[in-house]
Homo-oligomer: A and B are copies of this chain.
Amino acid sequence: MVLNKSETPSVPAATRARILKLAGELGYQPNHPARMFRSARTMALACVIPDITNPFYPGLVRGLQSIATPAGYDVLIFDTDGRPEGEARAVNWLLQGRADGVVGTFFHLRVPELTVLAHQGIPLVRLESQHKSEGPLPIDSVYIDNAEAAAAMTRFLIARGHRRIAMILAEFGPSKRRALGYTTVMREAGLAPEFVTDRAYSEESGARAMHSLLARKRDRATAVFGASDVLALGAMEAARSAGLTIPDDIAIVGFDDIPAARLLGLTTVRQPEFDLGTLAANTLVSRLQPGGMEHPGKSHELKFEIIKRSSV
- Report which A residues bind B (CB closer than 8 A): 29-34, 36-37, 40, 42, 44, 51-53, 55, 57-59, 61-62, 65, 74-79, 95-98, 233, 236-237, 259-260, 263-264
Contact = CB atoms under 8 A, between A and B. Distances in A.
A77 B61 contact: yes
Contact of A33 (B40, B55, B59, B260): B40
B42 A53 contact: no
B96 A30 contact: yes
Q: Which of A58, A79, A95, A233 has the most CB of B within 10 A?
A: A58
Nearest to A57: B58
Given A53-B62, A263-B233, A33 B29 contact: no
Given A259-B55, A260-B259, A34 B37 contact: yes
Contacts of A53: 58-59, 61-62, 259
A76 B74 contact: yes
A218 to B, nearest CB: 30
Contact of A36 (B29, B37, B52, B95): B37
A229 B36 CA distance: 41
B55 A52 contact: no
A42 B33 CA distance: 7
Contacts of A51: 62
B62 A32 contact: no
Contacts of A30: 96
A62 B37 contact: no
Contact of A97 (B31, B44, B58, B61): B31
A202 to B, nearest CB: 11
Contacts of A95: 29
A36 B41 CA distance: 13
A80 to B, nearest CB: 11
Nearest to A75: B77
Contacts of A65: 77, 79
Given A33-B33, A76-B76, A52 B42 contact: no
Contacts of A55: 55, 58, 259
A65 B58 CA distance: 15
Contact of A263 (B36, B37, B74, B264): B264
Contact of A260 (B37, B98, B263): B263
A255 to B, nearest CB: 17
A32 B79 contact: no
A65 B233 CA distance: 26
Contacts of A37: 33-34, 36-37
